Structure 1
Amino acid sequence: MHGSNKSVLLQANEAIVAGDNEGFLSHCTDDIRWTTVGEGTLEGKEAVRQWMKSAYATPPRFTVDRLVAEDDMVVALGTITADGDGGQPTELIYSDVWRFRDRKMVELNAFVIQPIR
């Protein structure tokens, strides 16, 4: 998997978990388009950087259950635990659909929901 889009995504996720937002952003193109379906779209690396400062002030924890890759796309399925309202840990289920260009992440469509318990 060395050098593959899958490995790039795993390295980027490791940077987020380590609180290294700049390490994550080093895997993104300057013109990244980050859409969280139902919430909105961020245009460009600087917009993502500013969003991450607050959204990832406390680094989330990821569990990647499956990665599926075809051509320039990688789909990640898993769970994420992040601080919710009042700082309480919240578990979310996600499906991230990433598009790559030259081994860099250029577009994200993130589907994130809270499981029904």
Structure 2
Amino acid sequence: MTESNKAVLEAANAAVTRGDYEGFLSFCTDDTLWVFVGDQTLRGKEAVRQWMAVSYRQGPPKLTVDHMIAEGDYVTAVGGVTTRDAGGTATHYSYCDVWRFRGSKLAELRAFVVETKARG
């Protein structure tokens, strides 16, 4: 199960970087719960859809995954993401995402995200 969960997360991440947000959402449960630690909580696909529409309105993020660790129903991904604001300025973040799976779908995210300097 752990290897298949990793493959699901890789496919979901690929959809996001292509700008295929509906494709990404097809990997999520309808009641998906996203907790951005210290920031906000999103409940359900529609909340995630609205968040993506705002966060990625200047185009899909550039996403890197440095490490992916799977155990049981959980996959942890560590990496970086770069997004652009309305003026085109790029902002880089380092992240640690802990995903819980249910029935081979992304059911819950606990995201630790910190703004950092872009990698050289």
**If the length of structure 1 is used for normalisation, what is the TM-score?**
0.92
Shift, 1:85, TM fit: 6.8
Instruction: Please list, as runs of the form range in 1=range in 2, the aligned pairs for 1:1-117 lying within 5 A after superposition.
Output: 4-57=4-57, 58-84=59-85, 86-115=87-116
SS at match of 1:16: helix
Shift, 1:87, TM fit: 2.4
SS at match of 2:50: helix
**If the length of structure 2 is used for normalisation, what is the TM-score?**
0.90
Q: How many angstroms apart in 1 are the aligned matches of 2:47 and 2:92?
A: 25
RMSD over aligned Cα, in angstroms? 1.7
Q: How many angstroms apart in 2 are the aligned matches of 1:74 and 1:47?
A: 22
SS at match of 2:116: coil
Q: How many angstroms apart in 1 are the aligned matches of 2:13 and 2:50?
A: 17
Q: For 1:15-35, what per-residue CA distance to the aligned partner results, in whole angstroms no more than 9, with x for missing partners? A: 000000000000000000011
Structure 1: 5+ residue runs without aligned partners? none
**Residue type of the alignment partner of 2:83:** A
Does the CA contact (< 8 Å) of 2:31 and 2:107 recur in 1?
A: yes
